[in-house]
Amino acid sequence: MDLLKFISEKRNSSLKKDLKNILGFKPGNINLYKAALTHRSVAEGPEHNNERLEYLGDAILSAVIADFLFKKYPLREEGFLTDMRSKIVNRQQLNEIAIRMGLKKITFYNKLDHSLKMSHIFGNTLEALIGAIYLDIGFKKTGKWVIEKIILPYMFLDDLETLEINHKNKLYSWASKHGYTLEFETLSEKLENGRRLFTVAAILNGENIAEGKAFNKKDASQLAAQSALEKLNINNSSV
């Protein structure tokens, strides 16, 4: 047998084993799952990395969670359901869940790219994996998998109901209560490895009190607000 082919088959066999442990079932098209686990930092072409599958998985995950919440809370209003869905699909939370599931160990990414430490590539990988699962086994089984492998073991809904994840709103509320002026200002925007990295500052009464960096302005401003809340020692009782 050709040595390269032997090595490739051995890697596929190892990946299938790891995926089966995480998924709870034997994956079908292994190339589909390899794409889901491959970050653009090691594969530029859209046919080789997980960006397209991430897009698909994001939509599937949102639909599954919307259906789950609609059935779980039959008497709650639209605003509550929307807020709960946002908390569940929160980027930071999905990233933490992905790591706990073991996706970090089998994700293919450039470990020397330090800018990736500020991103949520494992949460994005989880969404791409959901896209791959959907293409592999269909929507109904994927919905069941999301509920059994993500929502039930990792999402404590009673806690999420009272969780405040919008740090900007929390900081705005605190500033308004104390008569302070709060603004968020984009300090810089630069390319890092083909992606735009934004630095956003939380400006309180004209003073830069905290900054956040991320690959989109929304996340950067949330990180700046979170940092500001910590520096100002603002907890739930302070707002």
pLDDT tens, residue by residue, 104-147: 999 998 888 777 766 789 999 999 999 999 999 999 999 999 99
Alpha carbon distance 10, 21 (integer Å) = 17
Residues 48 and 79 in one domain: yes
State the CATH number of the domain containing residue 33: 1.10.1520.10
Alpha carbon distance 215, 110 (integer Å) = 16
pLDDT digits (tens, 9 = 90+) for 155-196: 888 888 877 667 888 899 899 999 999 999 999 998 876 678
Residues 214 and 132 in one domain: no
pLDDT digits (tens, 9 = 90+) for 46-70: 677 899 999 999 999 999 999 999 9
Please identify which of the residues 2, 18, 51, 58 carries the catalytic annotation: 58
Residues 143 and 180 in one domain: no
> In the annotation, is 219 catalytic?
no
Determine the structural domain holding residue 57 and report its residue range. 3-161
Residues 47 and 107 in one domain: yes
State the CATH number of the domain containing residue 190: 3.30.160.20
Give the total number of structural domains in the chain. Answer: 2
Q: Among 124, 85, 144, which Cα is nearest to 214's?
A: 124
Residues 105 and 156 in one domain: yes
As a whole number, mean pLDDT of residues 219-225 equals 85
> In the annotation, is 58 catalytic?
yes
DSSP element (H, E) containing 45: none
Please identify which of the residues 2, 9, 113, 127 carries the catalytic annotation: 127
